Amino acid sequence: MSRRPDIAGGEHLPKLRPGQEPPPPSWLPRQRRGTTPQMIGRYPDYDVFDAIDTWDEATKKAVLARLEPPGPLRFFTAEEEPTLRAFCDVATAQDDEPRVPVAEMVDAKMADAKLDGYRYADMPRDPETWRRVLAGLDHTARTAYRVPFAQATEEQRENIVREFAAGRLVGGPWDDLNVTRAWSVVMRGVLSEFYSHPWSWNEIGFGGPAYPRGFLRLGGPGREGPAVREPFERPGAVDVDPVRKDA
């Protein structure tokens, strides 16, 4: 079992770690209230739903709908599904349940054609970009490791995704894509869906919808230290300034 990083000393911050790599998500404390991905988070005593009585009915309906069990994929094929799920897990560092169903959320966006309304001039439409990216991930995994992407080891998948992020993947489907822009397209989709889910809000301590509640305590740090918290906020697991520690 690996040693837990010294949080107070800043060992969890990538710039202070060998190779500037983040530690595995398991360094975070276990969630004690509410639900977070993998039941870990920086705010173990925070649950965004503590504030549900401050939301209007339309807001409640919209947020609660995001907790409904996802249905089967409607856009991606059965052959593409394992690669999609594996990529979404690597990109969001989700390696255990409960998971935010990013794959299903991206699939629904593609199936319903609820796209962002713009694209790069030299790129295909987002649904086609996604298909080519999944084919490219499989091509790279088979070329480098002789297995499909979803069957590669965790380290192998992370290596491939790291090269994808750096725009260095070549061959097969990648030769028909601007790889750097393809990364931007799929990560825009992954992150927008991941952080629209209430479990992710719990993980980062986000206050959730502010309508019609509004915010009471705006402004930066005062003489006494950090700004006073909103009534619904909870302290983090550690009082470390990441900007100063990462400088």
**How confident is residue 42, by pLDDT bands cut at 50, 70 and 90?**
confident
Residue 100 near residue 92, CB atoms below 8 Å: yes
Residues 95, 158: one domain?
A: yes
Residues 44, 133: one domain?
A: no
The whole-number pLDDT of residue 187 equals 97
Residue 72 lies in a domain: no
Residues 164, 91: one domain?
A: yes
Residue 135 lies in a domain: yes
Cβ–Cβ contacts within 10 Å for residue 52, how many? 15
| Structure tokens, 155 | 């380290």
DSSP annotation of 134 reads: H
Residues 52, 85: one domain?
A: no
Q: 194, 213, 233: which is the final residue of a domain?
A: 194
Q: 153, 174, 194: which is the final residue of a domain?
A: 194
Residues 107, 190: one domain?
A: yes
For residue 241, give its domain range: 14-66+201-246
| Structure tokens, 62 | 């919209």
CA–CA dist 59, 210 (Å, integer): 10
190: helix, strand or coil = helix
Q: Give the pTM.
A: 0.83
Residues 158, 211: one domain?
A: no
Residues 233, 189: one domain?
A: no
Residues 59, 159: one domain?
A: no
pLDDT tops 70 at residue 246: no
Residue 27 lies in a domain: yes
If one counts the domains in the chain, the total is 2
Give the pLDDT confidence of 138-182 residue by residue, as tens digits: 999 999 999 999 999 999 999 999 999 999 999 999 999 999 999
The whole-number pLDDT of residue 211 equals 78
The whole-number pLDDT of residue 5 equals 61
